[in-house]
C-alpha cells in the first residue's frame, strides 16, 4: 500500500518543481523551454507530467488515492452467508394437520444490495416452508385462502436458521360469505 503512495508523492513533487520552474522563468517563455530542460527524462514521463499539471487532474488523482482504500477495504473478506427462515404452518384443528397451499413472503431491506427486496418461501414438505435469504430484518407474511393473514417481523443472522411456528385460524370475514 505504501509503494503507490510514495510514487504519487514523487509525481506531485515533480509537478510542483515544474510549476515553480515556470514561475521562475516567467509567463512569456513557451512551455517547450521547460521540456528542453527536462530532456534527460523519457518522452512518456514528460507527457505524463504535462497531463498532471492540470489542477483538475491533480484533484482527481487525489480523490482516487483517498477513495481507493475504502472501496477495497472489504475486498479480502468472504461474502456474508445467507440465513434461513423456516415457517411451520398447521391448520387450527385438533390434530395440527400440516397446511398446504400457503403463500409466504419475506420483505425487507437488504444491506448488501442497498435495496428493498421480497423473498418467497418454498414448501420443503407438508407444513414446512423455507427460504434462504441475506441477513437482515424482514416482515414475514403468511396467507392462505380461507385463513386470517398473519405477519411477523423476524431477524435473519448469517448462517443461522430462524423458525416461526403458527396455526392458521379461519377468517370470519371470508367464511361469512
- pLDDT tens digit sequence for 16-75: 555 444 444 455 555 544 445 555 667 777 776 666 666 666 677 676 777 766 555 555
pLDDT at residue 7, rounded to an integer: 55
pLDDT band at 77; cut points 50, 70, 90: low
Report the percent of the chain where pLDDT is more than 90.
45
Q: What is the mean pLDDT of residues 76-103?
A: 88
**173: part of which helix (H) or strand (E)?**
helix 172-175
The reported pLDDT for the residue numbered 89 is 97
Quote the pLDDT of residue 19. Answer: 46
Instruction: Kindly state the average pLDDT of the residues 116-139.
Output: 96
pLDDT of residue 141: 97
Residue 5: predicted pLDDT: 47
Question: Residue 71 class from Cβ within 10 Å (0-12 exposed, 13-18 middle, 19+ buried)?
Answer: exposed
Architecture of domain 83-175: Sandwich (2.60)
Instruction: Give the H/E segment covering residue 141.
Output: strand 136-143
pLDDT (mean) for 91-100: 92
Higher pLDDT residue, 152 or 26? Answer: 152
Residues of the chain with CATH 2.60.40.10: 83-175
Distance CA(141)–CA(28), nearest Å, equals: 76
The pLDDT of residue 43 = 73
What is the reported pLDDT for 145?
Answer: 87
Query: d(Cα 138, Cα 154) in Å, to the nearest integer?
Result: 5
Q: Is the pLDDT of residue 168 over 70?
A: yes
Confidence band, pLDDT 50/70/90 cuts, at residue 118: very high
Amino acid at each position: 500500500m505504501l509503494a503507490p503512495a510514495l510514487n504519487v508523492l514523487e509525481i506531485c513533487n515533480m509537478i510542483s518543481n515544474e510549476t515553480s520552474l515556470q514561475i521562475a522563468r516567467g509567463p512569456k517563455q513557451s512551455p517547450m523551454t521547460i521540456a528542453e530542460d527536462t530532456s534527460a527524462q523519457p518522452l512518456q514521463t514528460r507527457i505524463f507530467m504535462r497531463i498532471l499539471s492540470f489542477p483538475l487532474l491533480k484533484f482527481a488523482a487525489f480523490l482516487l488515492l483517498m477513495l481507493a482504500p475504502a472501496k477495497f477495504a472489504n475486498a479480502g473478506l468472504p461474502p456474508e452467508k445467507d440465513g434461513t427462515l423456516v415457517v411451520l404452518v398447521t391448520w387450527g384443528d385438533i390434530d395440527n394437520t400440516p397446511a398446504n397451499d400457503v403463500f409466504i413472503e419475506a420483505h425487507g431491506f437488504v444491506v448488501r444490495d442497498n435495496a428493498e427486496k421480497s423473498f418467497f418461501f418454498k414448501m420443503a414438505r407438508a407444513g414446512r416452508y423455507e427460504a434462504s435469504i441475506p441477513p437482515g430484518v424482514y416482515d414475514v407474511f403468511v396467507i392462505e385462502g380461507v385463513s386470517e393473514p398473519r405477519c411477523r417481523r423476524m431477524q435473519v443472522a448469517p448462517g443461522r436458521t430462524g423458525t416461526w411456528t403458527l396455526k392458521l385460524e379461519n377468517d370470519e370475514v371470508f367464511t361469512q360469505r
